Amino acid sequence: MTAIDPQQLDAKIAAAFGELTIDKALVRQLKIREKRTIPSFVEEWLISRFKKPDQSDAEIYQAITDFMSRHLPAKNEKEKIKYRLQSGESIVLLDRFDVRIDIKKSEKLLTIPCLDERNARVSDDVLNSNQILLEGGQWGAGRLFVRPEGKINVIELTEFHPMQSGKVRLEQLVKAREEFTTREWIALLLRTMGYEPAAYNEDQQNHVILRLLPLLQNNLNLMELAPKGTGKSFIYSNLSRYVWLNSGGALTQAQLFKNLNTKEVGLLGRHDLLVLDEGQSISFKGEDDIQAKFKDYLESGHFSIGNDKITSECGLIVLANIELYQGLPRQSNYIRHLPDMFHESALMDRFHVIIPGWKIPRFETQNAAQGFGIKADVFGEYLHQLRTVSFAEFPFGKPPNLTGDSRDVKAVSRLATALSKLLLLNPDHPDYEAYVLNPAKDLRARVRTQLAELDPHEFSAELRVY
């Protein structure tokens, strides 16, 4: 493993991305998230906004925590905020605001999580200027006011300023890549994710960045099985506002697909990615129906419910803990501890990849990033754009020409496309086979081993993709 000099890496990252970077070590030292439970991309946005060159860390911390005390209330303060609103005050809050449309009642309903409010209102002017509020929610500063509506009072969002760090241009990403080797680019990705590259060997680095793939590739379905403490869910809950993380518990057909009573589209229709964390303990109400709809959706990208047929680009991720023996899964059929729904080979075949999380070490403090990386909210926007960008605009992600079993070919092709976009490597690059094509085949091959465990009469463990 060739060591990368941290100072040279810092200099390259700063030169390539300028104001779109942040010192990840400073973010960790300030510990803003210990004051309030907020995603990393919000934390970094606050630090970028309040950091001044002549200020000490203590002064930066004080400025941010003062702002949060005024505009990001703790859960036990929500009734105080409501009282102030009821008393006629206009209040600015920082939160993830989300708007849904009730066509039947001709209403625009606003969700304000910090107030546990799901039926507030939003002015036409705010919504017309910020239609991103209709795309699964947006963090920002919103001004709230109480007004009468018929015989009741309602909270209304009258102003909104979205949380943004700057304009994100994919051509800047392409141009920057020219200055980095493939290993340096992987180091940049790790820093941006919050990891220090030197704390991991090359194989571990290659596996950590796989967690980014479903963030930049439509309809990529993935499982990661790993021991506790390896940071399986951290990236998904902290790097992108387009992700919905569900931690255990029971899920219903209405939550996942569509609520036929309210007509509200479910989680799979509203986000880039649905992450089912604690997969070993999750349960489904109406499991047979949900399993059938999962099979339909994971294969085709659409599902039918009632008289509706809904298309979505949302990927599905299942994260689960796994027991190891001498660093490897204790059993060869290591998906057996997942809910029974996933023990059907027809459903498992529709998952493109199983990430071997047992190859990623437990996260420790010395593993945390020690220098500069791209700001989390900026990087989240990069990944979101890569999901739908055309090859004419972004000259990476060309799928390889493959033959073999149709589902295997589809999976390997989709994985190779995602890796090509993440690492900015095309088939003509000398690193393509080692960093894109071979890893894509290995990842799908792991799914084949589990299919053979579930249904050895129909599936062989060997991946035949050429």
Q: Residues 143-153: what's their mean pLDDT?
A: 92
- Dihedral of CA atoms 417, 419, 421, 423 in degrees, nearest 10, equals -150
Residues 6+ apart with CB under 8 A from 417: 217, 397, 398, 399
Task: Decide if 79 contacts 116 (C-beta within 8 A).
Answer: no
| H or E stretch at 101 | strand 91-102
Q: Residues 239-265: what's their mean pLDDT?
A: 87
Return the closest-CA partner of residue 300 out of 408, 214, 410, 413: 410
* CA angle in degrees (0–180, nearest 5) for 450-322-287: 65
The pLDDT value recorded for residue 167 is: 61
Q: For the chain, how long is the longest CA-to-CA vector?
A: 70
Average pLDDT, the chain: 90
Across 97-101, 115-119, 146-150, 210-214, the highest mean pLDDT is recorded for 210-214
Q: How far apart are CA 111 and CA 21, in angstroms?
A: 31
Which pLDDT band, with edges at 50, 70 and 90, does 411 fall under? very high
Task: Decide if 376 contacts 239 (C-beta within 8 A).
Answer: yes
Q: How far apart are CA 413 and CA 278, in angstroms?
A: 28
Q: Does domain 201-360+390-454 have CATH number 3.30.565.10?
A: no
The pLDDT value recorded for residue 179 is: 93
Q: Residues 8-17: what's their mean pLDDT?
A: 93
Q: How far apart are CA 120 and CA 126, in angstroms?
A: 13
The pLDDT value recorded for residue 373 is: 95
pLDDT tens per residue across span 30-56? 989 888 888 888 899 899 888 888 889
The pLDDT value recorded for residue 346 is: 94
Tokens (6 digits) for 263? 């007509």
| Percent helix, strand and coil across the chain, each to the nearest 5 | 45, 20, 35
Return the closest-CA partner of residue 11 out of 372, 441, 271: 372
The pLDDT value recorded for residue 419 is: 97
Task: Decide if 123 contacts 139 (C-beta within 8 A).
Answer: no
The pLDDT value recorded for residue 11 is: 93
Q: Is pLDDT above 90 for 159?
A: yes
The pLDDT value recorded for residue 165 is: 58
Q: What is the residue whose two structure tokens read 């704390």?
A: 199
